[in-house]
């Protein structure tokens, strides 16, 4: 079966969002454009890592271009998107691998999220890795999004705000506090 690629070139919307209450949230990347919407499920740590890397990439592009690249230093306030995810929310796949790049010829950020691939315990691990690299036509599903520097800054800001809006950390152990209570591992009577 041919690889399913969900491609968005300068979509109307590209955001990270959640469903559920803090502590039980599901995280999604969602691209909307051309009358269609694609949503993929991922982990909170993946959202945080992607947002941080997007900011780092844009900062590096600005540094290398001497400030002449069409990339804002901060997210433009008129483009900030705080709307919820578009409904109905249909998960296309769970993200396993992500990639990020700057396309200098088009002056845009390219974000790729590839589906998680379950390894067959019968197969040799090296063979599975080779197959993913060599077989572009028949690989796992992929979301590929090309966005402007401004839209990338807005995406990163929203994603970082989203991750920070979770459960507050315990002041002693830094683990998340649960609404039902928290058993702090640092309050067990052991002193260092």
Tens of pLDDT, residue by residue over 18-56, are 998 877 889 999 999 999 999 999 999 999 999 999 999
List the structure tokens of 121. Answer: 């315990």
Tens of pLDDT, residue by residue over 83-116, are 999 999 999 999 999 999 999 899 999 999 999 9
Contact 23, 166 (CB under 8 A): yes
Q: Report the distance separating Cα 81 and Cα 144, nearest Å.
A: 20
Contact 37, 30 (CB under 8 A): yes
Name the residue among 81, 57, 59 with its Cα closest to residue 72. 59
Tens of pLDDT, residue by residue over 140-178, are 999 999 999 999 999 999 999 999 887 777 888 877 777
Contact 139, 99 (CB under 8 A): no
Name the residue among 160, 180, 161, 178 with its Cα closest to residue 169. 178
pLDDT range class, residue 136, cuts 50, 70, 90: low
Indicate whether 79 pLDDT > 80. Answer: yes
Phi, psi (deg, nearest 5) at residue 118: -80, 125
Instruction: Give the pLDDT confidence score for residue 124 in this predicted structure.
Output: 52
User: Three-class SS of residue 52?
Assistant: helix
Whole-prediction pTM value?
0.81
């Amino acid at each position: 079966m041919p690889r399913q690629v969900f491609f968005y070139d300068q979509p109307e919307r590209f955001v990270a969002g959640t469903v559920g209450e803090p502590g039980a949230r599901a995280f999604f990347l969602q691209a909307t454009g051309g009358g269609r919407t694609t949503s993929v499920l991922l982990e909170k740590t993946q959202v945080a890592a992607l947002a941080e890397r997007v900011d780092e990439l844009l900062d590096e592009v600005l540094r290398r271009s001497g400030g002449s690249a069409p990339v804002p230093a901060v997210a433009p306030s008129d483009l900030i998107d705080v709307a919820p995810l578009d409904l109905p929310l249909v998960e296309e796949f769970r993200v396993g691998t992500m990639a990020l790049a700057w396309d200098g010829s088009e002056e845009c950020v390219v974000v790729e999220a590839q589906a998680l691939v379950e390894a067959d315990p019968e197969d040799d691990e090296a063979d599975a890795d080779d197959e993913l690299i060599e077989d572009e036509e028949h690989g796992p599903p992929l979301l590929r999004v090309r966005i402007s520097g401004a839209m990338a800054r807005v995406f990163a800001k929203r994603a970082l705000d989203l991750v920070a809006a979770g459960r507050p950390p315990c002041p002693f152990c830094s683990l998340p506090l649960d609404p039902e209570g928290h058993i702090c591992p640092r309050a067990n009577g052991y002193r260092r």
